[in-house]
Structure 1
Amino acid sequence: MAITIYQNVAALSAQRNVGQSQNAMNKSIERLSSGLRINSAADDASGLAISEKLRGQIAGLQRASMNAQDGISMLQTAEGALGEVNTMLSRMRELAVQASNGTYTSNDRVEIQKEVEELKNEIDRISSSTEFNTKKLLNGDGTALWSSSSDQIEAIIRDDVEQGNYKIQLETIAGENQIFKTDIMTLRDDVIGSEIITAGNANETNIMSITDPESLNATGSAYYTVTVGDTTATSTADVGVTGFFQNPGSGFIVSAVGTGAGTLSSVPGYVEIEFSESVYSAAVGQTITANVRFINALTGEKGDWGEVTMTDATGNGVFTAGTTDFGGTLKNTDGNVINFDISVGYYTGAVQSGDKVLVNVSPMPAGAVGTAGLTSSGGGTIKVTGGPNNQPGPTIVFTGASSLTSADNGDNFIDTQDKTIYLASINTKTGNIDVGNFTMNFRENTSTANTAVGTTLTGDLSLAVTGAGEAASTTSKLNDLAVFVDSDGNNLFENKQELTVWGNGTSATIYLEGNDTLADVEEKLTKAIVEGLGMGSDDNNVNSHLVDYVSIAESDGVKSVKGTFIIQTALTGEQGEIAFSGDQALIEGLALNEIQESTNNTTKVAVYDAHTGDLKGTDETGNDRVYGVIDGVEIVLDSRAGVDESWNTTTGSIDFTTNKAAAQKEYFLHIVDNSTDLQIGANEGQTLAVSIPQLDVTGLGLDNVTLVSQDLAQKAIPDIDAAINQVVSIRATIGAQINRLDHTIVNLDTAKENMTASESRIRDLDMAEEMTTFTRYQVLSQAGISMLAQANQIPQMALSLLQ
Structure 2
Amino acid sequence: MALTVYQNIMSLNSQRHLGSSQTALATSIERLSSGLRINHAADDASGLAISEKLRGQITGLKRAAMNAQDGISMLQTAEGALEEVSSMLQRMRELAVQASNGVYTSNDRIEIQKEVEQLKGEIDRISSATEFNTKKLLNGDGTALWSASSSKIKAIIRDEVDEGNYRINLETIPGSNEIYKTDIMTLKDGAIGSEIVDGTNDTNIGSVNNASQLASTGTSYYTVTVGDLTAAQSATISLTGSYLQTGSSFSVAAAGYSNSAATSSGYIEVVFEDNVSANGTTSAQIRYIDALTGYISEWEEVDVTALNGTVSLTAADTTNLMNSAGQSLGFDLQLSLGVNGKIQNGDKVLLSFSGANAAPAGSVASSGGGTVQISGGPTGQAGPTLKFTSPSSLTAKDNGDNFVDTQAKTVYYASINAQTGNVDFGNMTINFKENNNATESNGETVLGDLSLKISGSGEAAATTTKLKDIAVFEDSDGNNLFSNKQELTVWGNGTSAVIYLEADDTIADFETKLTDAIVNKLGMGSTNNNVNSHLVDYVSIPTTSGGIQSVAGTFIIQTALTGEQGQVAFSGDEELINGLSLNKIQSAVNNTTKVTVYDAHSGQLVGTDETGNDRVFGIIGGVEIALDSRAGVTESWDTSKNQVIFSTNSAAAKEDYFLHIVDNSTDLQIGANSGQTLAVSIPQLDVTGLGLNNITLVSQDLAQAAIPDIDAAISQVVSVRATIGAQVNRLEHTIANLQTAEENMTAAESRIRDLDMAEEMSTFTRYQMLGQAGVSMLAQANQIPQMALQLLQ
TM > 0.5: yes
Matched, 1:320 2:312: yes
- Equivalence for 2:333: 342
Offset of 1:753 from its aligned partner? 1.1
Which residue of 1 is the match for residue 93 of structure 2? Answer: 93
Give CA deviations for 1:604-639 in whole Å, capped at 9, x if unaligned: 111111111111111111111111111111111111
Can you list the C-alpha shifts for 1:248-276, whole angstroms capped at 9, x where unaligned?
Answer: 322222111122x3346221111111222
User: Which stretch of structure 1 is more off in the superposition, 542-551 or 654-663?
Assistant: 654-663
What's the counterpart of residue 248 of structure 2? 250
Deviation at 1:372, TM superposition (A): 5.0
Is the Cα contact below 8 Å between 1:198 and 1:461 reproduced in 2?
A: no
Give the letter aligned to residue 216 of structure 1. L
| Contact 2:236–2:260 (CA under 8 A) maintained in structure 1 | no
d(CA) in 1 for partners of 2:496 and 2:754? 73
Match of 1:481 among 467, 470, 486: 470
Amino acid at match of 1:102: G
Q: Counterpart amino acid of 1:591?
A: S
The SS at the match of 1:792 is helix
Give the Cα–Cα distance (whole angstroms) in 1 for the partners of residues 9 and 362 of structure 2. 151
Cα contact 1:206–1:456 (8 A) shared by 2 = yes
> How far, CA to CA, are the matches of 1:274 and 1:728 in structure 2?
89
**Paired residue type of 1:150:** S
SS in 2 for 1:74: helix
Q: Which is further off, 230-239 or 160-169? A: 230-239
Q: Confirm whether residue 106 of structure 1 aligns to residue 106 of structure 2.
A: yes
Number of aligned pairs?
A: 791
Residue 360, structure 1, aligned to residue 358, structure 2? no
What are the superposed Cα offsets for residues 413-467 of structure 1, whole Å, 9 maximum, x if unpaired? 11100000011222334433221000001000022321x2111111111111101
Which runs of 4 or more aligned residues in structure 1 lie more than 6 Å from their structure 2 counterparts after TM superposition?
Answer: none
- Which of 245, 268, 273 is the matching residue for 1:271? 268
Between the aligned partners of 2:50 and 2:378, the Cα distance in structure 1 is: 114
- 1:447–1:54 CA distance, 2 compared to 1 (3 A): same
Partner of residue 659 from structure 1, selected from 628, 649, 656: 649
2:148 touches 2:154 (CA, 8 Å); kept in 1?
yes
Residue pair 1:205, 1:228 contacting (<8 A) in 2 also: yes
- The answer as to 2:397 corresponding to 1:407 is yes
Q: Which amino acid aligns with 1:453?
A: N
C-alpha contact (below 8 Å) 2:183/2:582 kept by paired residues: yes
Q: Determine the C-alpha separation between the residues in 2 that align with 1:447 and 1:606.
A: 55
Distance 1:525 1:325 in 2: 59
Q: Identify which of 605, 610, 616 aligns with 2:606.
A: 616
> What secondary structure sits across from 1:397 in the alignment?
strand
In the other structure, the counterpart of 1:547 is 536
Measure how far apart 1:289 and its partner are: 1.7
Contact 1:61–1:749 (8 Å) recurs in 2: yes
1:665 CA displacement: 1.2
Partner of 1:457: 446
Specify the alignment match of 2:460 in structure 1.
471
Find the aligned partners of 1:197 and 1:583 in 2 and give their Cα distance: 33
Unpaired runs of at least 5, structure 2: none
3-state DSSP of counterpart to 1:352: coil
Shift of 1:739: 0.9
Question: Could you say what secondary structure the match of 1:431 adopts?
Answer: coil
2-structure distance, mates of 1:263, 1:541: 50
Map of 2:662 onto structure 1 = 672
SS in 2 for 1:731: helix
Could you say what secondary structure the match of 2:226 adopts? strand
The equivalent residue for 2:129 is 129
Q: Following TM superposition, by how much is the alpha carbon of 1:198 offset from its aligned partner in structure 2, in angstroms?
A: 3.1
Amino acid at match of 2:638: N
Residue matched to 2:120:
120
**Aligned 1:173-572 pairs, distance under 5 A:** 173-199=173-199, 202-233=200-231, 235-259=233-257, 261-263=258-260, 265-279=262-276, 281-283=277-279, 286-312=280-306, 315-326=307-318, 328-347=319-338, 348-365=340-357, 367=358, 369=359, 373-450=363-440, 452-555=441-544, 556-572=546-562
Q: Distance in 2 between matches of 1:412 and 1:197?
A: 26
- Check conservation: 2:194, 2:465, Cα contact below 8 A: yes
Structure 1: how far apart are the matches of 2:601 and 2:223?
69
Cα distance between partner residues in 1 of 2:581 and 2:184: 9
Moved more, 426-435 or 508-517: 426-435
CA distance 1:245–1:473, change in 2 (3 Å): same
SS in 2 for 1:30: helix
SS in 2 for 1:360: strand
Question: Contact 2:250–2:343 (CA<8 Å) still a contact in 1?
Answer: yes
**Contact 1:235–1:370 (8 Å) recurs in 2:** no
Q: Give, in whole Å, the separation in 1 of the partners of 2:245 and 2:551.
A: 42
- 1:756, distance to aligned residue in structure 2 (A): 0.7
1:321 touches 1:342 (CA, 8 Å); kept in 2? yes
Question: 2:6 matched to 1:34?
Answer: no
**Does the 8 A contact of 1:263 with 1:337 survive in 2?**
no
Paired position in structure 2 for 1:649: 639
* One-letter amino acid of the structure 2 residue matched with residue 88 of structure 1: M
Correspondence 1:791 to 2:781: yes
- Displacement, 1:349? 2.3
CA apart distance, 1:688: 0.6
Distance in 2 between residues matched to 1:536 and 1:287, nearest whole Å: 73
Cα distance in 2 for partners of 1:726, 1:465 equals 59
Equivalent AA in structure 2 for residue 329 of structure 1: N
Whole-angstrom CA distance in 2 between matches of 1:744 and 1:235:
106
RMSD, matched Cα:
1.2
- Structure 1: distance between partners of 2:506 and 2:564: 31
Q: CA deviation at 1:647?
A: 0.8
Partner of 2:686 in structure 1?
A: 696
Q: Tell me the TM-score normalised to structure 2 length.
A: 0.98
Matches of 1:102 and 1:371, distance apart in 2: 72
Between the aligned partners of 1:193 and 1:240, the Cα distance in structure 2 is 29
- AA partner of residue 404 (structure 1): L
| Residue aligned with 1:782, SS | helix
Paired letter, 1:270:
Y
Quote how far apart the aligned CAs of 1:504 are.
0.9
Q: Which amino acid aligns with 2:425?
A: V
8 A Cα contact 1:231 1:371, kept in partner: no
- Provide the identity percentage: 67
* Cα distance in 2 between the residues matched to 1:292 and 1:446: 44
The aligned counterpart of 2:726 is: 736
After alignment, is 348-357 or 112-121 more displaced?
348-357
Question: For 1:177-203, what per-residue CA distance to the aligned partner results, in whole angstroms no more than 9, with x for missing partners?
Answer: 11111110000111110111135xx21
Distance in 1 between residues matched to 2:651 and 2:694, nearest whole Å:
30
The CA distance in 1 between the partners of 2:652 and 2:360, in whole Å, is 61
Provide the rounded CA distance (Å) in 1 between the counterparts of 2:334 and 2:640: 53
Q: How many Å separate the matches in 1 of 2:261 and 2:411?
A: 18
Contact 1:170 1:605 (8 Å CA) reproduced? yes
Residue 619 of structure 1 aligns to a residue in which SS?
A: strand
Per-residue CA shift, 1:469-515, capped at 9, x if unaligned?
11001111111001111222211111111111111111111111111
Residues 295 and 333, structure 1, Cα contact 8 Å, conserved in 2: no
CA distance in 2, matches of 1:245, 1:542: 50
Provide the TM-score with structure 1 as the length reference.
Answer: 0.97
> Quick check: 665-674 or 338-347, which moved more?
338-347
- Helix, strand or coil for the counterpart of 1:42? helix
Contact 2:248 2:343 (C-alpha < 8 Å) held by counterparts? yes
